């Protein structure tokens, strides 16, 4: 049996790591969880968080390119991108805190792991 409080904390930390920064530093937390945790739910949440990090970076590159190509006309895409990024992360954290026995799955992302 796994400790539910520890599961909640580590799962929320995996998903919340993206709030520390959108750079490569924040992905280190869920990667570390892959090596530290032995809870299968925490491991699945860590993998999903890593996949979400990759998606945020890819979509950020696409949005930046579109803004440059259109000479700034699509600048509002930045706001939409951050709204989705933050909204999905908050949803993930709330989900793992309310239902700690089930890993969270982000909708509409590509999964590498």
Instruction: Answer yes or no: is 104 within a domain.
Output: no
Whether 105 maps to a domain, the answer reads no
Instruction: Note down the domain range covering 61.
Output: 4-98
Domain count, the chain: 1
Q: Is residue 30 part of a domain?
A: yes
pLDDT of residue 22: 66
3-state SS track over the chain: CCCHHHHHHHHHHHHHHHHCCCCCCCCHHHHHHHHHCCCHHHHHHHHHHHHHHHHHHHHHHHHHHHHHHCCCCCCHHHHHHHHHHHHHHHHHHHHHHHCCCCCCCCCCCCCCC
Residue with tokens 């026995």, as numbered in its chain? 101
Is residue 89 in some structural domain? Answer: yes
Q: Is residue 70 domain-resident?
A: yes
pLDDT in tens, the chain (113 residues): 899 999 999 999 999 999 988 678 899 999 999 999 999 999 999 999 999 999 999 999 999 999 999 999 999 999 999 999 999 999 999 999 999 999 999 999 999 99
What is the model's pTM? 0.93
């Amino acid at each position: 049996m796994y400790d539910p409080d520890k599961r909640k904390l580590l799962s929320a930390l995996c998903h919340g790591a993206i709030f520390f920064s959108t750079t490569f530093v924040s992905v280190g937390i869920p990667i570390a969880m892959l090596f530290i945790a032995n809870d299968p739910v925490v491991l699945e949440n860590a993998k999903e968080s890593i996949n979400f990090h990759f998606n945020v970076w890819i979509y950020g590159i696409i949005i930046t390119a579109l803004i440059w190509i259109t000479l700034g006309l699509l600048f509002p895409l930045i706001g939409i991108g951050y709204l989705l990024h933050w909204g999905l992360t908050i949803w993930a954290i709330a989900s793992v805190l309310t239902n700690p026995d089930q890993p969270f799955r982000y909708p509409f992302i590509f999964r590498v792991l």
